Each structure stands twice: as C-alpha cells, then as structure tokens.
C-alpha cells in the first residue's frame, strides 16, 4: 500500500486496485486504521483517534484533485 503523504501522527495510504468508492486509508502511529471517502471525507470503515487523524483530514480537503488522480492511476495499475 503506497504512502501518499506522511504527517506527524499519521500517514495517508492508497491501495493498488482497491474497491470502490474512491477512498484513502489513514494509519496512525499506534496502528489505528480508518478509511475515508475522497469526495466527502466521510468515515467509511475502521476508527482512529481524531487527534491523530486531524492533520490527514485537512490535507485531502485541499488536495482532492491529486487524490482522485492517484486513485485512477492505482486502479489502472492493477488492471
């Protein structure tokens, strides 16, 4: 699972050939895992301390076009 961006308390990752809808994974330093939808930032699966994920959720709000492009790229690489 490639790391898209690292933060102080967590990182954003996306999987090659992952299932729809388009989403990203946030993994905290304590290995809590949560998946968020790219378009809405709604929690899709898992859970993590909001103090640990705050930085990661600010980034996608400002970088949705990049995340969409990576989603398409990673989906194509699996095909």
Domain chopping of the chain, boundaries: 3-78
Among residues 2, 1, 7, which one has the least CA distance to residue 60?
7
- What per-residue confidence (pLDDT) applies to 11? 95
Q: Which residues of the chain have pLDDT under 70?
A: 77-79
- What per-residue confidence (pLDDT) applies to 78? 55
CA 40 – CA 47 distance, rounded (Å):
16
Contact (CB, 8 A) for 55 and 8: yes
DSSP one-letter code for 9: S
User: Is 61 exposed, middle or buried (CB count within 10 Å of its CB: 0-12, 13-18, 19+)?
Assistant: exposed
- What per-residue confidence (pLDDT) applies to 34? 97
């Amino acid at each position: 699972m490639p790391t898209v961006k690292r933060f102080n308390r967590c990182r954003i990752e996306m999987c090659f050939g992952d299932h729809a809808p388009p989403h990203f994974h946030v993994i905290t330093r304590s290995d809590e895992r949560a998946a968020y939808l790219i378009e809405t930032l709604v929690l899709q699966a898992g859970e993590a301390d909001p103090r640990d994920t705050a930085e990661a959720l600010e980034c996608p709000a400002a970088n949705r076009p990049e995340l969409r492009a990576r989603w398409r790229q990673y989906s194509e690489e699996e095909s």
